[in-house]
Amino acid sequence: VSEATRDDRVVLRRAPSSRDALALMAAEVREGLSARPLPFLPSKYFYDDRGSALFDEITRLPEYYPTRTEEGILEAVADQVARVTRPREVVELGSGTGRKIRRLLAATARATVRCVLFDVNETFLTDSCRRLARDFPGLEVNGIVGDFTHDLDCLGPGGGRLVVFFAGTIGNLHPDEAVPAFLVRLARQLAPGDAFLVGVDLVKDEARLHAAYNDAAGVTARFNLNILRVVNDRLGADFDLTAFEHVAFYDRARAWIEMRVRARRATRVRIPRADVDLALGEGDEIRTEISAKYTRGTLEARLPGSGLRLEQWLTDADELFALALLRRIA
Ligand code: SAH
Ligand code: AVI
């Protein structure tokens, strides 16, 4: 990790992938857009400042139940989680506005001396670190700008550590390909007995899932199309946003929501910096996100070989969402 910057009690560090971020982005965008039959864009590129603000707006939509449901579960279980983990250090992956961790820190109280927020969005990360430091005097606050699929080793060796991963963001990793590798890497940063608290959105009624990703106010559509604007801004691409529309549907066989952008008419995209020249016909699609939905069984099926075991499965009364408390096996 390089380029530590310190202000007051906040130390901000940049992980390797954020040092050469544009070169990495060009390579990832080139790879994704050359995939066939379905080109894709990595969903971490939703989250420039506009995208992160749009996600925050999504969390308040009437159709988007995950955030308020997870907050309700957290409210009910925070004291219990604090009691059984008693972490010296709490790490939040994909921390965004950093709002949820406050409930946990209030419960872990004096046991916790350090809090580490980890996110790709440097602006949101800096702001949330500063606000935490202001509101939790005595707490050492670190921020890591990085990609949690590449840079977890920046956390250093575990011991007295609780890692939290809220929002169901683990669902944005491919369940068969990315999740097993992610869990192995994460477990390496935990000492035996350290804990991992992960939020998962649950398999449920399809109409409810569909509505959550096709809200009436069109915020999710703006969030989805924003990824094209991010590629334009950062890589000098010429995506014509008016040529695309938002698509989100539930794939029952794979138990995931898939978001795509669909060309309303034939269009062409050039990205000289990524060596991309892509011709799309009317109706052609680019996948922008998967959001996998789990059951207790399908989550537990990911654990063998990871070094983690399920200790508690904490859900709301309607079983819309779950917090899984996992423990690093000795
Ligand atoms: N934890 C917050 C925000 C969830 S949104 C909440 O519960 O509401 C997902 C967050 O993960 C965003 O802040 C986004 O910037 C971050 N993120 C997405 N992909 C990432 C990646 N590969 N590495 C690090 N952060 C990522
Ligand atoms: C961050 N993540 C858990 C959200 C989700 O539901 O998969 C991102 C999102 N995509 C569309 N709406 C919200």
Residue nearest to atom 6 of ligand 2 (CA): 291
Q: Which three-class secondary structure state does DSSP give residue 75?
A: helix
User: What pLDDT, in 10s, does the model give residues 30-88?
Assistant: 999 999 999 999 999 999 999 999 999 999 999 999 999 999 999 999 999 999 999 99
The pLDDT of residue 7: 61
pLDDT at 200 over 90: yes
44 forms beta bridges with none
Least confident of 3-7, 135-139, 152-156, 236-240: 3-7
pLDDT (average), residues 278-289: 98
Atom of ligand 2 nearest to the CA of 169: 3
The pLDDT of residue 2: 44
**Cis preceding-peptide flag for 137 (omega within 30 of 0):** no
The pLDDT of residue 5: 64
User: What pLDDT, in 10s, does the model give residues 74-120?
Assistant: 999 999 999 999 999 999 999 999 999 999 999 999 899 999 999 99
pLDDT (average), residues 21-26: 96
Ligand 2 pocket at CB < 6 A:
58, 66, 167-169, 171-172, 213, 220, 223, 289, 291
The pLDDT of residue 321: 99
Atom of ligand 1 nearest to the CA of 121: 15
Phi, psi of 99 (to 5 degrees): -80, -40
Q: What is the mean pLDDT of the chain?
A: 96
How distant is the alpha carbon of residue 27 from its chain centre?
A: 21
Q: Ligand 2, residues 71, 148, 169: which to mutate, most atoms within 8 A of Cβ?
A: 169
Q: Ligand 2, residues 164, 165, 291, 323: which to mutate, most atoms within 8 A of Cβ?
A: 291
Query: Quick one: the chain helix, strand, coil %, rounded to 5?
Result: 40, 30, 30
The letter for the amino acid at 101 is I
Q: How far apart are CA 181 and CA 201, in angstroms?
A: 20
Per-residue exposure over 201-211, b if at least 16 CB sit within 10 Å of its own CB, e if not: bbbbeeeebeb
Phi, psi of 189 (to 5 degrees): -90, 5
DSSP sequence for 23-67: HHHHHHHHHHHT-SSS-B--GGGG-SHHHHHHHHHHTTSTT-HHH
Do 26 and 274 contact (CB within 8 A), yes or no? Answer: yes
